[in-house]
Amino acid sequence: MRQVVLDTETTGLEVLNGHRIIEIGAVEVVNRRLTGRTFHKYMNPDRAIDDGAKEVHGITEAFLADKPRFADVWPELETFLRGAELVIHNAPFDIAFLNAEVEWLAAKAADAPERVDTFCDITDSLVLARRKHPGQKNSLDALCRRYMVDNSQRELHGALLDAEILADVYLLMTGGQDQMFSNGADQEQKSQSESNQQAVRLDIEQLRVVQAKPEELAAHEAMLELMDKHSDGQTLWRR
């Protein structure tokens, strides 16, 4: 099974107001293993970036001035995505922007490109998180805290970094690390670990119980009396 975990950054929140994609980051997962293959591009949107968006991702018009347009990036991006299951946090947002970019291309191209959701299945990790953790915060940062995924480098949003973090969160949220390793060597290691645990349990069952001697009990009682004296009778051992 091939999955691509994807994130975008945009000039603003409303695709219907003509906002554009300025960064795309994606990482490949095959059979629940990160392959190391990634896709990452910045793009010149040929329009201004909202101040609120700049506060989120820190990307400026000056930085994007010499970057390629979406039309230049699309052939490579389409090849990377085609046939994969896309995993996206709040997928409707990113898919709406991707499809809008494709539709703008189609208006200028003789051979109209396909919308992304026609050649990829879409999985919304936010929907999965809300089902798994109803009534709780399910932002990417909240999920990182819940699943102990390091997001300390996420001072600003960045498409590739967020995709890498989401991939870790998604794998943990949908099965954990135990399902990521399934070859013969891993199974052998698991069997050996189970055998070792069984041996430890047998050893524990055979341990000899040693009772405290009267003088040891008396010394313990004297210590509790001293602790009581200095804590106004609040010694936890007495409770």
pLDDT less than 70: residues of the chain? 110, 156, 176-209, 228, 230-239
Confidence (pLDDT) at 4: 98
What's the CA gap between 11 and 21, in Å, rounded? 6
Which residue type sits at 182?
S
Confidence (pLDDT) at 45: 97
Confidence (pLDDT) at 102: 95
Known active-site residue 220: no
What's the CA gap between 128 and 92, in Å, rounded? 14
What's the CA gap between 145 and 112, in Å, rounded? 43
Would you say 49 and 12 are in contact if contact means Cβ atoms under 8 Å apart? yes
Q: Bridge partners of 201?
A: none
| Catalytic hit among 40, 157, 220, 230 | 157
pLDDT tens, residue by residue, 21-70:
999 999 999 999 999 999 999 999 999 999 999 999 999 999 999 999 99
Q: Is the pTM of this model over 0.75?
A: no
Confidence (pLDDT) at 218: 80
Confidence (pLDDT) at 53: 95
Confidence (pLDDT) at 9: 96
pLDDT tens, residue by residue, 2-19:
999 999 999 999 999 999
